[in-house]
Amino acid sequence: MPKPNLASFTARVKQLLKKIPRGKVATYGQIAALAGMPRAARQVAWILHASAEKERLPWHRVINRNGMISLPRLQGYELQRELLRREGVAFGLRDVIDLERFQWRPQPARSRR
């Protein structure tokens, strides 16, 4: 698969973010990989930072690969935790989310025959 350019990558990331259902989470790296650039987790974070509010993206459903919220405690951490909790996402010790239970796993696209 050819590498997408930045504009198409950004559009694909936004599409994917909108598909994460309530009560599920995805990791930055997972979204990057699904969008065609598996090593672009930081770019996913920047896209969220730049576009989440304006485009009403479910920013709170994206966490780090360790199952944890990446935001600092005084810069959105508590809000993200509360939004996820309201959707039914449970937090374990040290606020780690069980990815086996809560990670979004999109179904592969079916080919039409």
Annotate 25-93 with DSSP letters as a single string: BEEHHHHHHHTT-TT-HHHHHHHHHHHHHHHT--GGGEE-TTSS--S-IIIIIHHHHHHHHHTT----G
Mean predicted lDDT score pLDDT of the chain: 93
Q: Name, in order, each residue with C-beta under 8 angstroms of 100's C-beta and a sequence gap of 6 or more.
A: none
Q: What is the CATH number of domain 6-102?
A: 1.10.10.10
What is the rounded distance in angstroms from the CA atom of residue 56 to the CA atom of residue 113?
Answer: 35
User: For the whole prediction, is pTM greater than 0.85?
Assistant: yes
Predicted confidence band at 1 (pLDDT cuts at 50, 70, 90)?
low
Name beta bridge partners: 25: 103
What digits encode the pLDDT tens for the residues 26-68? 999 999 999 999 999 999 999 999 999 999 999 999 999 999 9
